[in-house]
Structure 1
Amino acid sequence: MKKITFAFGIYTLMLGLLVGAIAALFIGLVHFSTEFLWTFIPEQFNSPWFYPLCMGLIGGLFVGLLQLKFTGYPRSMHENMAELKRTGRIEYKDRLFKTIVSAWIILSFGASVGPEAALIGIVGSTSTWIIDHLKLSLKHKEELISLSIGAIISSIFLSPFSGLAEEIDDSTEAKKIPKQSKLLLSILISFSALASFLWLKSFMKIPESIFSIRLPDAGWSWWFVVLFIPMIILGWLFSIYFDQLQVYIAKALSFIKNKMVLALLGGLSIGIFGIISYYLLFSGEHQLIEVTKSVQEFSITALLIIALLKPLLVAICLATGWKGGAIFPAIFSSSVMGYLVTVWLEGPTGFLITIFVAASCTKIVGKPVLTASILLFVFPLQFFPFILLTAFIVNKNWWASFKQLSQHN
């Protein structure tokens, strides 16, 4: 069996540390600019009710100018992954600066999207530039770039196994080195990336993440057995709502060809939605912590508005040039809706909410094993087997990934 060299292992470790540092620095940049724009400045003016509208329109002007200057940036997660699979790299020439600036503006001005798409582009481009200067064979260079993408996913979602999950989901990817070596390298780069990411985040005092290991008393009930399949169906239906909104909004706005008009329309929408509820803005990661801590203080109407309008704003943002990831918003809106469909039940409902979110997010993300590895660090650990089972039920192609992966042994 072909073995990896010690030097290649060191390259992998160092790349992981760099990936985590890049992710933390970018997240920190967005956090501090967001705090300045959405907390410090409005406090100086007693937080006027129309402030979100002002920020949305100002952001729309910036996004419009960026779209005119840098057409198509930041690129989506699917575009970056498609390039990686097609060419074995993510190009950095005349691209890295555009990605950083565009994503920073979009995320700072309240877009209802996540940072994962931008970070994959930033890390992929940076990794490609570094690896191009290493004395490695072409196949090992491509392997390192692929590993760096898995590491950034692990860092963003604080899930050290997401890189491996991405490999399992992607059953068509050619295996350039033995599976055992790939397993070892994926673990090495993911944990090293997580270490530098978490250290830098704590150093910069960035607020806690929703992702962590939890082992609470689950409060099992016979209701769980009866409602297991209905919750999967309801979660799947919500994912249809989430996905189809993006299709219909994109078609509805397709007649607008002027990028500045589109960007301003997106900014206007962000402003209006922000006036309706602060929880409709941003990716939803930190808002989910706030909502779960005080969910009983919200009215059913308020939660329903959040659950239904969040996907709508995501669709508007994506269709108007405010591009980003949909994983964080999907987890947030699915969790709120999952609570709403179980609120009529007495006793603990965490298990049923977990199943609802797993079904919804598996369909939205389209990668069942990756989704399960992320939700492992959102919901109680003892629910994880049922998250995997739900992912299997929602996406029948899930098992084919394992079968094809085993054939490479």
Structure 2
Amino acid sequence: MWLKIKRLFFMSLVVGVLGGVIGGVTWILLFTMNVGIDLLWYLIPTRLNFVFYPLVVCAIGGVLIGFWEKRFGRYPRELSDIMAEVKAGEKIPYNNLHIIGIAALMPLIFGGCIGPEAGLAGIIVGLCFWFSDKFRFAFSEIDEIAKIGMAATVGIVFGSPLFGFFNQIEDENQQPVIPKNKKMLMYFIGIIAGFGAFNLLSSIFGGTPGLGQFPPIENTGGIEWVSAIPLALVGGCIGMLYFVFKRLVKVAIRPIKNYIVLNAVLAGVILGGVGIILPYTMFSGEHQMTELMTTWQNMGFVLLFVTGIVKLLIGNICIEMGWRGGHIFPVIFSGAAIGYAIAIFLPIDPIFCVAVVTAALTSAILRKPLAVVLLLLLCFPINGIIPMTIGAFIGGAIPVPKFLREI
């Protein structure tokens, strides 16, 4: 009995320390990203009056990203690929974490329409496998370390510990398989330790601004509930465009697929050129969400709707053409922009509309309804949980067409 307690205490301590390290590494990368963005996109442009600044900067970014990939390989890898390998028990190498770190930061700093979760996951999972190799002698459950690290990283990046947990265990077409007893305890120790370390560093030195907080839903009358299912269907169907765009981009770049630098530069030119006309199509959308909440009525239906759709396209262009990263933040922003666009024409509460559409669109792409609801609670009010649940489960239930499933 005492031996079991001792082993549990030791494993909890190891996982807690690892969680703290994960929180610290995550903060360092996100802090570095924000410093780079502030310097390149706020400090320098205020001293220049140059309309084509985004085009030039993104093209330069494409050159750097292309040559880095040509020298070191395709990094960072997509979050879904890393998660699949970890769940399959495959080992992620950890001798190139510095290369992954720079590869992850460059597209983020140069304005890529991507999120930081993929690059961070690659670094953290590699770190976890290094950690597990060092402590393999201590206890047999060490193989679970990488999965715990993945959950902690995702929970920290998105500011939602429960999202990190359920995103790790919830698979499409399967019921969530909850780890039992000791494993479940280890997951939450790792996630909470990482979350605590990240918040401590953010409170001392500053951190990321987050997605922003939508105001409460003021009206939930009959017209809102009647419109919930149609709105969810619209959001889910628009979410299918993400997969359509992904396939179209893959086909379009096939003739130049092996020209790594050309791909990256062309992606930068497209990103910067479109960004001059539609500024919100650049970056992950995390920083711009608060601006969207206050300016949407002045933007009008066409600008909001086009921004939301084009951001789904630009995100795929970035990822497929060498500006690799995550897609969750841009997808959420697209859903919010399209939700606001629809709200302009409907006599319903705008936040209700945005909550349903965003949840449906995001779930149609992620295929994880429960995780999506927990994630969106980070920025939507608590009285939006029912509309978001309706949207998430309807959007996640819309089948991906057969010809798009392979991607």
Q: What TM-score do you get using the length of structure 2 for normalisation?
A: 0.90
Query: Do 1:168 and 1:369's aligned partners in 2 also have CA atoms closer than 8 Å?
Result: no
Which residue number corresponds to residue 220 of structure 2? 220
Which residue number corresponds to residue 86 of structure 2? 84
Which residue number corresponds to residue 334 of structure 1? 335
In 1, the alpha carbon distance for the partners of 2:342 and 2:291 equals: 20
Which residue number corresponds to residue 268 of structure 2? 267
Summarize the Cα distance change of 1:43–1:210 in structure 2 as closer, same or farther, 3 Å threshold: same
Deviation at 1:131, TM superposition (A): 2.6
SS in 2 for 1:294: helix
In 1, the alpha carbon distance for the partners of 2:320 and 2:179 equals: 41
Residues 112-156 of structure 1, C-alpha deviation per residue, up to 9 Å, x if partnerless?
A: 000011111011111221232125457422212211110111101
Summarize the Cα distance change of 1:244–1:126 in structure 2 as closer, same or farther, 3 Å threshold: same
In 2, the alpha carbon distance for the partners of 1:378 and 1:140 equals: 35
Moved more, 316-325 or 183-192: 183-192
Deviation at 1:349, TM superposition (A): 2.4
Summarize the Cα distance change of 1:211–1:239 in structure 2 as closer, same or farther, 3 Å threshold: same
Deviation at 1:206, TM superposition (A): 3.3
Which residue number corresponds to residue 59 of structure 1? 61
Deviation at 1:107, TM superposition (A): 0.8
SS in 2 for 1:5: helix
Deviation at 1:33, TM superposition (A): 0.8
Runs of 5+ consecutive residues of structure 2 not aligned to the other structure:
400-407
Query: Do 1:85 and 1:173's aligned partners in 2 also have CA atoms closer than 8 Å?
Result: no
Which residue number corresponds to residue 11 of structure 1? 14
The residue type equivalent to 1:354 in the other structure is: A
In 1, the alpha carbon distance for the partners of 2:297 and 2:397 equals: 36
SS in 2 for 1:185: helix
Deviation at 1:187, TM superposition (A): 2.1
Deviation at 1:347, TM superposition (A): 4.9
Moved more, 188-197 or 130-139: 130-139
Moved more, 115-124 or 342-351: 342-351
Query: Do 2:232 and 2:357's aligned partners in 1 also have CA atoms closer than 8 Å?
Result: yes
In 1, the alpha carbon distance for the partners of 2:144 and 2:154 equals: 16
Residues 269-296 of structure 1, C-alpha deviation per residue, up to 9 Å, x if partnerless?
A: 1110121132111100111111112222
SS in 1 for 2:68: helix
Matched, 1:107 2:108: yes
Deviation at 1:167, TM superposition (A): 4.2
Which residue number corresponds to residue 28 of structure 1? 31
In 2, the alpha carbon distance for the partners of 1:137 and 1:248 equals: 49
Matched, 1:50 2:44: no
In 1, the alpha carbon distance for the partners of 2:288 and 2:27 equals: 19
Summarize the Cα distance change of 1:91–1:211 in structure 2 as closer, same or farther, 3 Å threshold: farther
The residue type equivalent to 2:103 in the other structure is: S
Deviation at 1:369, TM superposition (A): 2.1
Which residue number corresponds to residue 324 of structure 1? 325
The residue type equivalent to 1:255 in the other structure is: P
Which residue number corresponds to residue 199 of structure 1? 200
Which residue number corresponds to residue 376 of structure 1? 377
Which residue number corresponds to residue 354 of structure 2? 353
Which residue number corresponds to residue 241 of structure 2? 241
Moved more, 113-122 or 305-314: 305-314
Which residue number corresponds to residue 71 of structure 1? 73
Summarize the Cα distance change of 1:130–1:207 in structure 2 as closer, same or farther, 3 Å threshold: closer
Deviation at 1:61, TM superposition (A): 0.6
The residue type equivalent to 2:11 in the other structure is: F
Which residue number corresponds to residue 401 of structure 1? none
SS in 2 for 1:323: coil
Which residue number corresponds to residue 188 of structure 1? 189
Residues 325-359 of structure 1, C-alpha deviation per residue, up to 9 Å, x if partnerless?
A: 11000000111001111211235221222111111
Moved more, 376-385 or 145-154: 376-385
In 2, the alpha carbon distance for the partners of 1:217 and 1:305 equals: 25
Query: Do 1:218 and 1:380's aligned partners in 2 also have CA atoms closer than 8 Å?
Result: no
Query: Do 1:63 and 1:106's aligned partners in 2 also have CA atoms closer than 8 Å?
Result: yes
Query: Do 2:159 and 2:378's aligned partners in 1 also have CA atoms closer than 8 Å?
Result: yes
In 1, the alpha carbon distance for the partners of 2:123 and 2:81 equals: 13
The residue type equivalent to 1:336 in the other structure is: A
SS in 2 for 1:299: helix
Matches within 5 A, 1:271-290: 271-290=272-291
In 1, the alpha carbon distance for the partners of 2:259 and 2:217 equals: 54
Residues 137-191 of structure 1, C-alpha deviation per residue, up to 9 Å, x if partnerless?
A: 574222122111101111011111123212441488998x960223322222222
Q: What TM-score do you get using the length of structure 1 for normalisation?
A: 0.90
SS in 2 for 1:8: helix
Residues 28-86 of structure 1, C-alpha deviation per residue, up to 9 Å, x if partnerless?
A: 0111011111112222223x101011101100110110121122111111221122122
In 2, the alpha carbon distance for the partners of 1:91 and 1:44 equals: 43
Summarize the Cα distance change of 1:18–1:112 in structure 2 as closer, same or farther, 3 Å threshold: same
Matched, 1:232 2:237: no
Matches within 5 A, 1:118-157: 118-136=119-137, 139-157=140-158
Q: Percent identity over the alignment?
A: 29
The residue type equivalent to 1:245 in the other structure is: F
Residues 358-393 of structure 1, C-alpha deviation per residue, up to 9 Å, x if partnerless?
A: 111011112222212111212111222442343333
Which residue number corresponds to residue 304 of structure 2? 303
Which residue number corresponds to residue 404 of structure 2? none
In 1, the alpha carbon distance for the partners of 2:266 and 2:110 equals: 14
In 1, the alpha carbon distance for the partners of 2:123 and 2:73 equals: 17
In 2, the alpha carbon distance for the partners of 1:254 and 1:368 equals: 33
